[in-house]
Chain A
Amino acid sequence: MIQLSDTHIWLVILTLGAGTFLIRWSFLGALGRYAMPQWVLRLLRYTPVAVLPALVAPLVMWPAATEGQADPARLVAAIATIIVGLIWKNMLAAIIAGAGTLFLMLQFLG
């Protein structure tokens, strides 16, 4: 349970909201009128394929739901998601494959 007073909770929400907006606004809002050098553009091309995998890798290897223990069901589901996504290049198909695999693995492994 959260012990904070309502005022404090709202303070957290407002600060987090404002900070998150400023992060998202940073380049687009403040620097949008300036041309970006070529090497910056080249780096930025790899933003999504670097950030998202780095965000996900620890969640896959050490899921919070199993208290940080590597979990075969979740590992296999992650691999199924990647393989289907790589082969068919279709996000929805990959989600269905991953979620389906996880559901079946959890049913069988318990």
Chain B
Amino acid sequence: MAPTPTSMPDLPPPPDDAAQARVLARSPAQSFRNGMVQSLPFLVVLIPFGLLFGVIASEAGLDLLQILGFSVLVLAGASQFTAVQLLSDNVPALLAVVSALAVNLRMAMYSASLVPWLGSAPGWHRSAVAYLLVDQTYALAIQKYELNPRLSLKQRLAYFYGAAAAMCIPWAISSMVGATVGRAIPETIALDFVIPITFLAMIAPMLRTWAHRIAALVAVVMALALSWMPAGTGLLIAAPIGMAAGALVETWQERRQRGTR
């Protein structure tokens, strides 16, 4: 990539004025619908993922109400799979809970990164957002907020709730359907690889700057190097190191920019 000392390292080029104005003019109800519509592509993978959870959980011996309990009360795919998997392997219940929580620790970082955008909302809104904070709603919302920094708090919340409605309700329903009819799914569809493909498809468009790319690269190298650590805990070291690498590159680029001016 050619050096472009005048480009901002942290934000993509703003969308054209007309599109920006349209986004800013939306009523909360329109923002809600916008959030729903923009999250629909995620259903392509979220529904099979939910079905798969239903299948695996019912094969492990959970009843319908327990499967619904997981999908409504925990509402976090990867950790639901972790818990059911470990319980099936007869790991002590406490260890299964701790491992499944470790998988979710990344969400503390999501929670923190939403503070500048939603931190001034009333307490019950912040609790509701926290309950509905999953990879998909986070990825959509943070992208929306960064591209349209002048959205009002009402518009931001409405957009988030719209995305959450389109994600969380189908999640619960599809896990129930999977539990009921799931055994008909053919083996050749390789459902196991649904998670990696979804996450990769989410990340790639976000790698807009060298700082982002280096953050991702460092995180990947560290995660692979630390994969010997138990129950995915290597992630808790790899991710902060990747974040630090991105922040360092950004700082360095900023300093170089100031120097050349």
- Bound-state CA distance A5–B121 (Å) is 41
B212 and A49 contacting across the interface, CB-CB below 8 Å: yes
B169: chain A residues at CB < 8 Å are none
- Bound-state CA distance A64–B220 (Å) is 18
Task: Determine chain B's interface SS by DSSP, over half rule.
Answer: helix
B185 at the interface (CB under 8 A from A): no
A25 and B101 contacting across the interface, CB-CB below 8 Å: no
- Bound-state CA distance A34–B177 (Å) is 43
B193 and A65 contacting across the interface, CB-CB below 8 Å: yes
Q: How large is the interface on B (under 10, 10 to 19, 20 to 34, 35 or more residues)?
A: 35 or more
- Bound-state CA distance A57–B135 (Å) is 16
A13 and B74 contacting across the interface, CB-CB below 8 Å: yes
Number of A-B pairs whose CB atoms are under 8 Å? 301
Cβ 8 A contact of B201, one of A1, A29, A85, A106: A85
Contact code string A31-58 (vs B, CB < 8 Å = 1, else 0): 1111010011111111111111111111
B224 and A58 contacting across the interface, CB-CB below 8 Å: yes
Q: How large is the interface on A (under 10, 10 to 19, 20 to 34, 35 or more residues)?
A: 35 or more
Binding site for A on B (CB under 8 A): 10, 41-42, 44-45, 60-63, 66, 69-70, 73-76, 78-79, 83-84, 87-88, 90, 93, 96-97, 100-101, 104-116, 118-121, 123, 126-127, 129-131, 133, 135, 138-139, 142, 188-190, 192-193, 195-207, 211-213, 215-220, 222-224, 227, 232, 234-235, 238-247, 250-251
Binding site for B on A (CB under 8 A): 1-4, 6, 8-17, 19-21, 23-29, 31-34, 36, 39-65, 73-74, 77-78, 81-86, 89-92, 94-96, 98-99, 102-103, 106-107
